[in-house]
Amino acid sequence: MTDIFSLRDDSPVSEAPVSIEEFLGNSNATAVRIEVGEDARQLLPNLDRIAMVEISFPAFTDGRGYSAARVLREAGYDGELRAQGDVLLDQIRYMHRCGFDSFAPEKPLKADQVDAVLKRFDAVYQGTVDGQNPVWNLRHGN
Amino acid sequence: MKLLTGNDLKSGLVTWWTGKDWSINIEDAVDVGEEGEAILAAEQEAQRVNSAYIIDGDEDAGTPRPGHIKDRVRALGPTVRPDLTLKPNDASAIDKVV
Amino acid sequence: MYKYDQYDQSIVDARVAEFRDQVERRLAGEITEDQFKPLRLQNGLYLQLHAYMLRVAIPYGTLNSEQMKMLAHIARKYDRDYGHFTTRQNIQYNWIQLDQTPDLLADLASVEMHAIQTSGNCIRNISSDQYAGAAADEVTDPRPWAELLRQWSTFHPEFAHLPRKFKFAVIASEEDRAAMRLHDIGIQLVRNDAGELGARFFVGGGMGRTPMIGPMVRDFVAADDLVSYAEACLRVYNRYGRRDNKYKARIKILVHELGKDEYTRQVEEEFKHIKTLNLDPPKAELERITTFFQDPDYDKSASDDLDLSDPDFAIWVDQNVKTHKQSGYAIANISLKPIGGIPGDATSAQIDVMADLAKEYSFDELRVTHAQNIVLPHVKKSDLYTLWQKLDEAGLATPNLDLISDMIACPGLDYCSLANARSIPVAQKIAQRFSDVGKQKELGELKLKISGCINACGHHHAGHIGILGVDRKGVENYQLSLGGSGAEDVSLAKITGPGFDEDGIVDAVEKATNVYLKEREGDERFVDTYRRVGMAPFKEALYD
């Protein structure tokens, strides 16, 4: 199994995720996997019984997972949100800003490099789900 | 003949496989024959050159000549800026491209 | 002009450091070209036919003379002494070395410039009306809105890996000088019945291999909703835009396949949700940005008198000078289309001259136009003669704005790795055929646009006369089309028939203009006559 790189305080969920279809069927699973192109909104009625959502990135250039992550966070999901697949150093910051807090990359990430990437920018132009206050609020004392 | 070409990683300039190295002058290019794929694979590993590929060409007065106009433009430089081509003093160079 | 504050500067500086790190990792072999390519592309660095090409952003085409001087400096220090102004109001350099790019970006950052998102499948430079702030017909200056969108779209984490590139244009006049309806999102600022400013959204326009005119999806988005609405438009696209085929991945295909009504319904639903998240900037932010775009300190007593006794000056004024909203002032267009030159190219020395003239005569401001020309937006009429003389000395006074030789041409096969045919030699030959300015003026407004491949960077679909270069069995061939427009009378050009070789296309253009001269009524432009008489007489002249 790939190493999980987590930015969370709790430890990564070890349960193997099931498909959305299986989860929505008669399942006790608490970990779900969203394949690229699947609608994350299908999970919204059941967020309270999910501990981990894994979103697949078959290729890092396919950005659908970013929207899927935000959809879940915007609905209040606060469990582990894992990016799995072609997860590369230079996309980590964008992923983090969209709500991902754990990563299962196909090629391992170096902790110090991830740390540097996440600290690189101290200002952001837009509000997302990561709690960073955008500069247009800071400029006006909000 | 078969030629192997790409762009130098650092400078971006067009380069041609000379048999043991890369050169920006097509005059130095060699026919890679059936070896193209093998050299390509090895060179991709070495990461000195980007987007390398094999093209068909023929020989014209002892100089390799790419089969397609795109690679002839690559070999010379922009036809609208003779001063920036590899043959700035050769008035006929551009006619040979077209 | 917008001025960076410490936040803007820190973001651009951090980007330079980030790219320096990425380049180092690439040169050290830590990342592969496949991994590096999208990173360099999001910073405007392409690998073109002969070398790396760097595209520098000029947000909404506005810059000051210090920035313009920096563009000349970069051409000199890192390139081969020239630059190419593009149809997205940017500039690109053709001979950049990868290892020097970080230093180049640091130089740019020192004058509040960057190359962020000038390429890649992300939101690109926001374009606008080159006469913004000077035009008499605008309801407001569109640039504060464009700047707000620039900031919102910069490093937007959700929209950095869209199905395909994404282009915005923002205008605020009925006259469309920015090809607004041919953008992924075109915004026209309007006032509603209550007198408030808002944005009319057109989504799904574009050129490329499937040209489409963007339909209106909302006639009024209030300023307070602008960001949320844009966010909704993009999210629907990011989730459902096609990713199976790069040629069907632009938002125009999604809007077309869903239908405008269904796309709009999905956007409105998403907008309702996003609006609950409180993502829009405070009202005070658009007001803050707007303060940077106040009118310059005009001399209100400046005279409208102009001595036109020099006939060459009179021709230039008639063609290249446009009405300014302030009496005593004018908008001066600098053509980068000298007869026989390369459309959009300027030498470092010329870029310096334009910077100096802007400082002296145009309140330190310049604009780049989507037609690849430069504008000095605020020139006192009493300075026009001196300005013209200085432009003329630098080879920058060609009096051909909107005439047949004022062509848009993509770099084509001389520079571009995607091209199938050369565009520039065709542009040069046509300009030479019509070199007589009297002959050009007789033809009147005639927008000729040339692309060297089906990607349509030369806007051939929007040309009154459009030319598309194709590869026919290894030989360059050119298709002629007629009747397009990127202006408020937007339309898509239609192909006349079989293509021509390089000399044949020049003859064909001349034949088409002869048909116009014969058929025109009153003060019809070429495109008006074409629309009235249709394709038949042109076809007859071209193929019989």
Asked whether residue A106 carries a pLDDT value surpassing 80, the answer given is: yes
Pairing of strands C62-64, C52-56: unpaired
Total structural domains in chain C? 4
Yes or no, beta carbons of C51 and B51 under 8 Å apart:
no
Residue C192 has pLDDT above 70, yes or no: yes
With a cut of 70, say whether residue A15 has pLDDT above it: yes
- Return the structure tokens found at B76: 């010379």
The answer to whether C161 faces chain A, any CB pair under 8 Å, is: yes
**What is the greatest pairwise CA distance in chain B?**
39
**CB-CB under 8 Å, C121 with A67:** no
Residue C352's domain comprises: 318-393
Measure A109 CA to nearest chain C CA, in Å. 12
C32 part of contact set with chain B, CB < 8 Å: yes
Nearest to C496 by CA among C104, C505, C372: C505
Q: Are residues C434 and C518 in the same domain?
A: yes
Task: Tell me, yes or no, whether C57 and C185 share the same domain.
Answer: no
Assembly ipTM: 0.97
Residues C474-482, mean pLDDT to the nearest whole number: 96
Interface of B with C (CB under 8 A): 7, 9-14, 47, 50-51, 67-70, 73-74, 77-81, 84, 98
Taking 60 as the threshold, does the pLDDT of residue A1 lie above it? no
pLDDT of res. C249: 97
Across B43-66, b (16+ Cβ under 10 Å) vs e yields bbeeebbbebebbebeeeeeebbb
Give the CA-trace dihedral at A115, A116, A120, A123, to 10 degrees. Answer: 20
Is the minimum CB–CB distance between C424 and chain B shorter than 8 Å? yes
Q: How many CB atoms lie within 10 A of CB C303?
A: 11
Please state, in angstroms and rounded to a whole number, the distance separating the CA atoms of residues C13 and C108. 10
Touching pair C, A by Cβ (3+ pairs < 8 Å): yes
CA atoms of B59 and B29, how far apart (whole Å): 11
- pLDDT grade for A2, boundaries at 50, 70 and 90: low
Check pLDDT > 80 for residue C473: yes
For residue C116, is it within any domain?
A: no
Minimal CA separation from A61 to chain C, in Å = 6
C32 alpha carbon, distance to own chain's centre: 33
B84 contacts on C by Cβ (under 8 Å)? 80, 95
Distance CA A80, CA A52 (A): 5
Q: If contacts are CB pairs under 8 Å, which of residues 192-251 in chain C contact chain B?
A: none
CATH number at residue C284: 3.30.413.10
State which amino acid sits at residue C202.
Answer: F
pLDDT at residue A26 in the model: 79
Give me the mean pLDDT over the C4-21 stretch.
97
Rounded to an integer, what distance in angstroms lies between the CA atom of residue C165 and that of residue C300?
Answer: 44
Contact C54, C93 (CB under 8 A): yes
pLDDT tens sequence across A27-43:
899 999 999 999 999 99
| CA dist list (Å): C314 to B91, C301, C311, C321, C435 | 39, 23, 5, 10, 18
Kindly tell me whether chain A and chain B come into contact, counting contact as 3+ Cβ pairs under 8 Å.
Answer: no
Task: Using DSSP, state whether A23 is helix, strand or coil.
Answer: helix
Q: Of B48-62, C298-312, C386-400, give the lowest mean pLDDT range.
A: B48-62
Q: Which chain C residues touch B74 with a CB distance below 8 Å?
A: 49-50
Element of type H or E holding C37: helix C33-41
Residue C527 has pLDDT above 80, yes or no: yes
Calculate how close chain A gets to C63, using CA atoms only, in Å. 21
CB pairs under 8 A between B and C: 67
d(CA C257, CA B26): 48
Least Cα distance to C177 among C512, C542, C521, C488 occurs for C488
Looking at residue B98, its pLDDT comes to: 86
Structural domains in chain B (count) = 1
Rounded (10°) angle between helices C260-275 and C226-240:
120
Q: What is the per-residue pLDDT for B62?
A: 87
Helix residue ranges, H only, A46-102: 64-74, 92-97
| Cα distance from N-terminal residue to C-terminal residue, chain C | 55
| B68 interaction partners in chain C (CB closer than 8 Å) | 474
Does residue C156 belong to the interface with chain A, where contact is any CB pair within 8 Å?
A: yes
**Binary contact (C422, B79; C-beta < 8 A):** yes
- In this predicted structure, which of B42-56, C44-58, C477-491 has the lowest mean pLDDT? B42-56
C-alpha–C-alpha distance, residues C134 and C251, integer Å: 32
* Residue B32, domain extent: 2-97
**Residue B60 binned pLDDT confidence (cut-offs 50, 70, 90):** confident
Q: Label residue C428 by pLDDT band (50, 70, 90).
A: very high
The answer to whether C238 contacts A64, with C-beta atoms less than 8 Å apart, is yes
**Is the per-residue pLDDT at C455 higher than 70?**
yes
Cβ-defined contact of A61 to C162 (cutoff 8 Å):
no
Average pLDDT over residues B64-89: 96
Q: Is C328 exposed, middle or buried (0-12, 13-18, 19+ CB in 10 A)?
A: middle
A66 contacts A101 by C-beta, under 8 angstroms: no
Among C542, C401, C404, residue whose Cα is nearest residue C478:
C542
C-alpha dist (Å) from residue C483 to C178, C487, C503 = 18, 12, 22
Q: Least CB-CB distance to A140: which of C8, C10, C282?
A: C282
Give the model's pLDDT for residue C187.
Answer: 98
Q: Which residue has the tokens 């700047």?
A: C147
**B13 contacts on C by Cβ (under 8 Å):** 50-51
C66 and C149 in a single domain? The answer is no
Other beta carbons within 10 Å of B84: 16
**A62 alpha carbon, distance to own chain's centre:** 14
CA–CA gap between residue C420 and residue C427 (Å, rounded): 15
**Structure-token match 């690189």, residue found:** A120
The pairing of strands A31-34 and A52-57 is parallel
pLDDT at B46: 86
What is this structure's pTM? 0.97
- Residue C413 touches chain B, beta carbons under 8 Å: yes
The residue among C57, C459, C274 whose CA lies nearest residue A126 is C274
Cα distance between residue C486 and residue C463, in whole Å:
7
Contact list, C342 vs chain B (CB under 8 Å): 80-81
CB contact under 8 A, B69 and C99: no
Torsion of CA A113, A117, A122, A128, to 10 degrees: -140
Number of helices (H) and strands (E) in chain A: give both, helices first. 5, 6
pLDDT, averaged across chain C: 97
Beta carbons of C179 and C370 less than 8 angstroms apart: yes
Whether residue C387 is found in the same domain as residue C419: no
- C511: amino acid identity, one letter: K
pLDDT at A7: 95
Q: Does C235 touch chain A (CB under 8 A)?
A: yes
Structure tokens at C105: 């970006």
Best mutation target among B5, B48, B73, B85 (most C Cβ atoms within 10 Å) is B73
Q: How far does the CA of residue B40 sit from the closest CA of chain C (Å)? A: 14
Inter-chain CB proximity A137 and C281 less than 8 Å: yes
- What is the C-alpha R_g of chain C? 23
Question: What's C103's domain CATH number?
Answer: 3.90.480.20
Q: Mark B27-37 as b/e (b = at least 16 C-beta within 10 Å).
A: ebbbbbeebbe
Beta bridge partners of C470: C477
Contacts of C413 in chain B (CB under 8 A): 69-70, 73
Average pLDDT, chain A: 95
Separation of alpha carbons C214 and C166, rounded Å: 13
Whether pLDDT at B6 is above 70: yes
| The pLDDT of residue C38 is above 90 | no
C66 domain residue, yes or no: yes
C298: CB partners within 8 A, 6+ apart: C326, C328, C329, C378
Q: Distance between CA C415 and CA B80 in Å, rounded?
A: 10
Q: Distance (Å, rounded) from C-alpha C477 to C-alpha C493?
A: 18
Share of chain C above pLDDT 70, in %: 100
Quick one: C169 and C239 in the same domain?
yes
pLDDT digits (tens, 9 = 90+) for C318-327: 999 999 999 9
CA angle C363, C368, C100 (to 5 degrees): 105
In chain C, which residues have their Cβ closer than 8 Å to the Cβ of A140? 282, 284-285, 288
The encoded tokens of residue A16 equal 């193997």
- Quick: pLDDT tens for C83-100: 999 999 999 999 999 999
CB-based contact C161 A62, cutoff 8 Å: yes
Instruction: Quote the CA–CA distance of C413 and B61 in Å, as a whole number.
Output: 25
Domain check: are C208 and C337 in the same one? no
Domain ranges of chain A: 5-138
pLDDT tens-digit series, residues A52-73: 999 999 999 999 999 999 999 9
Whether the pLDDT of residue C284 is over 90: the answer is yes
CATH of A5-138, one of 1.10.3470, 3.40.50, 1.10.287, 1.10.10: 3.40.50
Q: Which amino acid is at C147?
A: E
CB count within 10 Å of CB C143 equals: 26
- Could you tell me which of C112, C114, C111 has the C-alpha nearest to residue C124? C114
Q: Is C11 helix (H, G, I), strand (E, B) or coil?
A: helix
Give tens-digit pLDDT for C24-33. Answer: 999 999 999 9
pLDDT greater than 80 at residue C481: yes
Q: Is residue C355 pLDDT above 90, yes or no?
A: yes
Do C375 and C421 fall within a single domain? no
User: C29 vs B47: CB contact, 8 Å cut-off?
Assistant: yes
Q: How far apart are CA C391 and CA C356, in angstroms?
A: 11
Q: How far apart are CA C437 and CA C420, in angstroms?
A: 31
